[in-house]
Amino acid sequence: MIKIAIYGKGGIGKSTTASNLSMALSEMGYTVMQVGCDPKADSTGNLCGGRKITTVLDAIREKGNDVTLDDIVTVGDGGVICIEAGGPTPGVGCAGRGIITAFEKMEKLGAFEVYHPDVVIYDVLGDVVCGGFAMPIRNGYARNVFVVTSGEKMAMYAAGNIAIAVDNFKARGYARLRGILLNCRNVEDELAKVEKLADDIESTIISVLPRDGIVQEAENMGKTVVAAFPESAMAAAYRDMAKRVLEVCGDDQ
């Protein structure tokens, strides 16, 4: 099982990238599970017709110890297994702690043993890498970390912090930073800026995703680009990204 964590600053296109990665891998014949680890619980929307699915924390609040896998799992486009950790009641509780609770419930219910995914993708908010937000990399859930960034200052700042966090956990054998996924925003000298960032954090750019209005068109349909516009150049870019991600991860378990 290849275990991947996709980190990035909020609003950088991380969930869009993760969902298109999941769809492209599914097309290649892999059984894919995508786990949203953002309190907004919108990671899997483009795999599920644009709708928000029941989160693990919502199910726990409603059913307590009677929660089953059927309550927290939705099978989306391409057969992608979709799970959203969810967040605490607004104004009450800690979002990071909520992710920890959700992961513990998934493990207790045997989600991986039941669905046998070939690839698990964790979509994680990367503005802060502490507590529950570090759960995928600090507890061995994900060995391969990719950072989504643009050439914008705050996106690169967040990417740098994520790289530092991953490096701290690397010594314990938990996870490795595998590379950068550049989601272009047409910033001046964008590629050069992100190439310098890659050098600074001793990493490399794995994929360059061009800015394309077709992404928003697909999202308005509640779809990934790969599903909505399979013959488009943007879909081809996501498929190429998926191949490169697999090459970098290899057969890492």
End-to-end Cα separation, the chain, in angstroms? 5
At residue 14, the pLDDT reads 94
pLDDT at 173: 65
Of 42, 127, 167, 212, which residue is the catalytic one? 127
Q: Which two tokens stand for residue 225?
A: 């680009």
- To which H or E segment does residue 245 belong? helix 233-249
User: Which residues fall within 8 angstroms of residue 30, CB to CB, at 6 or more apart?
Assistant: 118, 119
- At 79, the amino acid letter reads G
Report the length, in residues, of the chain: 253
What is the structure's pLDDT at 3?
92
Answer whether 142's CB lies under 8 Å from 103's CB.
no
If we measure between CA atoms, which residue out of 117, 89, 83, 88 comes closest to residue 103? 83
Token digits of residue 142: 């994900």
pLDDT of residue 250: 80
Residue 106: what residue type? Answer: M
HEC secondary structure over 37-101? ECCCCCCCHHHCCCCCCCCHHHHHHHHHHHCCHHHHCEECHHHCEEEECCCCCCCCCCHHHHHHH
Q: Is 14 a catalytic residue?
A: yes
- Domains present along the chain, CATH in parentheses: 2-249 (3.40.50.300)
Neighbours of 63 (CB within 10 A): 12
pLDDT of residue 27: 97
For residue 40, indicate whether it is catalytic: yes
- Note the pLDDT of residue 133: 64
What's the rounded Cα separation, in Å, for the pair 102 and 85?
5
Task: Indicate the residue type of 95.
Answer: A
Distance CA 238, CA 207 (A): 9
Q: Are 114 and 33 in contact (CB under 8 A)?
A: no
Distance CA 169, CA 166 (A): 5
Q: For the chain, how long is the longest CA-to-CA vector? A: 53
Amino acid at 141: Y
pTM metric for this prediction: 0.93
Residue 251 structure tokens: 């057969």
3 state SS of 238: helix
**Tokens encoding 117:** 């995914």
**Tens-digit pLDDT profile for the chain (253 aa)?**
999 999 999 899 999 999 999 999 999 999 999 999 888 889 999 999 999 999 999 999 899 889 999 999 999 999 999 999 987 665 555 666 778 888 889 999 999 999 999 999 999 877 665 555 676 677 677 889 999 999 999 999 999 988 988 887 776 667 889 999 999 999 999 999 999 999 999 999 999 999 999 999 999 999 999 999 999 999 999 999 999 999 999 856 5
* Alpha-carbon span 199 to 119, nearest angstrom: 28
